[in-house]
Chain A
Amino acid sequence: MPRDGRAVLDSALVILLAAKLSAFFDPRVLSFCASAYRILKNYLQLNISLLYWILIAPFTGHFFKISPVFRQMVFIGVRAAPMVALTAFSVGVTLAMQAAHSLQQLGAEIYVPDLVMVTLLREMGPVLIAVIVIGRSGSAVAAELGTMKVSEEIEALEVMAINPVQYLVVPRFLAMLVMLPALTIFGNYIGVFGGWAVCTFALDFNTAGYVLRALQSADTWDLYSGMIKSAVFAWIVITIACNAGLHVEGGAEGVGQATTASVVQALLAMLVTNAVLTGVFFFAV
């Protein structure tokens, strides 16, 4: 009976559709959406009040203190320098070896310095150094602010009429905004030095030849695009870390969760932004 068959099929489809729709309203899905919405809202609010305290408040007489910025610069940037150096050196060496391996087959070893230089300036420098800073300084900031939150310190600041964003977030933000690009430049140098080590000791380059080729291959835009990236990463990393720390709930366990979440969120956001920025800088223009 084809008529009955169609009716059954139709009603089955309607039920299936209803089931699919209701799956969308599943409590788990809803609670996930709610928490994502809450995190995003908090994040936007943090960014807005951060901009207020940096750009507008100084003109109303609430100038932020400069000495905590330097203290944070030492903590976030200077102490991360050894790790950044080791990472950048390894990356420079690896890049040179990989480039040599591939280019040797074409008889084009002469281009190894070009590849090391351009890759470092445009991609590897900003990204890998941001990764190191997320793992080291971003997580530390999230854990520190989270601990302050659970031990009532942030509430105490508020009751003393000290804005936590002004007192805690602004110095860290400015320190990161200066130090991540600075570390990136530093890392670029070390990476190029790593490339030089491979080219001089394993390939037939002399120092002058390496430096000359490296400098010829890169133009200033390669450097600037990397710097813009690393400034954007600095913004993302520190705001995500501070946001995670300031909204910790539920004791020591909450601090741990917030720290992990800040690292994961910062890494994801940083890598996605990197893809977008690369697209904008080298394809769209």
Chain B
Amino acid sequence: MNSNEAPIIEVVDLVRKFGDRTVLNDISFNVHRGETLVIMGGSGCGKSTLLRHMIGSMKPTSGSVKIFGEEIATMNEREIGRVRQRFGMLFQSGALLASLTVGENVALPLFQHTDKSPDEIEEIVEQKLQMVGLTGFEDLKPAEISGGMKKRVGLARALALDPELLFSDEPTSGLDPIMTAVVDQLTLKLAHGSHVTAVVVSHDMTSAFRIATRMIMLGHGSIVAQGTPEEIRTSTNAEVHQFINGEADGPIPLNLSQDEHEHHQHVKPRPFVNARFRFHHKTP
């Protein structure tokens, strides 16, 4: 970690509200080159929302998000597109295009953003698929492969343009332990070998502690704790302790999301009922 260099990602006082519900509250952190940051937290704590702000598909209510030193919150479509070519993103479900084959999916960013010849692209696709252990699957459709394979193809596609920065949304959920280890090793190899910076949203604790150089735990839309894996592991914060050890009893209430939901649900306004007017004619 080189803190003299400008951070790859710089989030300052990020606030996001949906209506009057605050989903992200005063989030600030930096990610430096070569780091692997794991963002963890319970369901509905704002992890995915935070990720969507970093990839520029959501705009913050206030605060700033800088990627590669450029403010992404105020950019227009075209500028965001330019930044997006420098990072890759692995979606939770893989998000492969169902109408294209596995090979075409991985080749898509290459065809769109580079002038490489079809032969070169084929070679790169082969190499990327080999990296995720899917050699020979080029001609299958996404519907013909398993969920874990889709995820790995998604990873191959995210890496197609050799990005400097990789976002992963729960890269290991739904994978068997061996494949989880393979994906983790791949992330580590990218981080150490090619100095790829990674931001991983996960609640797979085994995987998180294996890959992270730094961790952030979110709760109720704000940062509960952050630090190195060792600091998190030895944290005295009860919420963190409960979360990383997966205990049912603790400060995090079980009905967190439901409670919040009910609390913030808008009270439906009663439809206006036209008053019926009765005229009582007094007989003179």
Q: Do A and B come from one complex?
A: yes
| B72 shortest CB reach to chain A, Å | 12
Question: Does A55 count as interface, using CB distance less than 8 angstroms?
Answer: no
Interface stretch of the complex, out of A19-27, A192-200, A222-230, A263-271: A19-27
Question: Does B77 count as interface, using CB distance less than 8 angstroms?
Answer: yes
Contact A156:B89 (CB < 8 A) given known A162-B112, A163-B81: yes
Closest B-chain residue to A154, C-beta based? B95
Contact A161:B95 (CB < 8 A) given known A27-B271, A28-B271, A155-B57: no
Residues on B with C-beta less than 8 A from A16 are 277
> Given the complex of chains A and B, what is the CA–CA distance between A19 and B80 in angstroms?
50
> Given the complex of chains A and B, what is the CA–CA distance between A152 and B84 in angstroms?
17
Q: Of the candidates A1, A19, A147, A148, which one forms a contact with B274 in the assembled complex, judged by CB atoms under 8 Å apart? A: A19
Residues on B with C-beta less than 8 A from A160 are 84, 89, 108-109, 112, 157
Binary interface encoding of chain B residues 1-35 relative to chain A, with 1 for a CB under 8 A from any of its CBs, else 0 = 00000000000000000000000000000000000
Q: Which of B238-284 contact A (CB under 8 A)?
A: 269, 271-272, 274-275, 277, 279, 284
Number of interface residues of A (CB under 8 A): 28
For this complex, 7 residue pairs linking A to B, each with C-beta atoms less than 8 Å apart, are A27-B269, A28-B271, A151-B93, A152-B91, A153-B96, A155-B91, A156-B97
Closest B-chain residue to A156, C-beta based? B95
Q: Which of B79-103 contact A (CB under 8 A)?
A: 80-82, 84-85, 89, 91-93, 95-99
Residues on A with C-beta less than 8 A from B77 are 163
Question: Does B45 count as interface, using CB distance less than 8 angstroms?
Answer: no
> Given the complex of chains A and B, what is the CA–CA distance between A12 and B92 in angstroms?
62
Binary interface encoding of chain B residues 197-227 relative to chain A, with 1 for a CB under 8 A from any of its CBs, else 0 = 0000000000000000000000000000000
Contact A12:B95 (CB < 8 A) given known A161-B81, A161-B85, A163-B77: no
Residues on A with C-beta less than 8 A from B284 are 1
Residues on A with C-beta less than 8 A from B112 are 160-162, 167
| A198 shortest CB reach to chain B, Å | 43
Q: Which of A140-186 contact B (CB under 8 A)?
A: 144, 147-148, 151-153, 155-163, 167
Most B-side CB within 10 Å, residue of A147, A148, A151: A151
In the complex, which range does the number of interface residues on chain B fall in?
Answer: 20 to 34
Q: Are A153 and B279 in contact (CB under 8 A)?
A: no
Residues on B with C-beta less than 8 A from A74 are none
Q: Are A155 and B272 in contact (CB under 8 A)?
A: no
Closest A-chain residue to B89, C-beta based? A159
Question: Does A15 count as interface, using CB distance less than 8 angstroms?
Answer: yes
Q: Are B93 and A159 in contact (CB under 8 A)?
A: no
Residues on A with C-beta less than 8 A from B98 are 147-148, 151, 153
Q: Are A26 and B279 in contact (CB under 8 A)?
A: no
Task: Supply 12 further A-B pairs (C-beta < 8 A) apart from A153-B96, A162-B109.
Answer: A8-B279, A144-B99, A151-B98, A152-B93, A155-B57, A156-B91, A159-B55, A159-B89, A160-B112, A160-B157, A161-B82, A161-B109
| B59 shortest CB reach to chain A, Å | 14
> Given the complex of chains A and B, what is the CA–CA distance between A27 and B266 in angstroms?
14
| A122 shortest CB reach to chain B, Å | 38
| A19 shortest CB reach to chain B, Å | 5
> Given the complex of chains A and B, what is the CA–CA distance between A176 and B216 in angstroms?
50
Q: Of the candidates B81, B93, B279, which one forms a contact with A12 in the assembled complex, judged by CB atoms under 8 Å apart? A: B279
Residues on A with C-beta less than 8 A from B279 are 8, 12
Closest B-chain residue to A71, C-beta based? B99
Contact A19:B275 (CB < 8 A) given known A156-B89, A162-B108: yes
> Given the complex of chains A and B, what is the CA–CA distance between A147 and B99 in angstroms?
11
Q: Which 10 A-B pairs have the closest CB atoms?
A: A156-B95, A161-B84, A161-B81, A152-B95, A159-B89, A19-B274, A161-B85, A160-B109, A162-B112, A26-B272
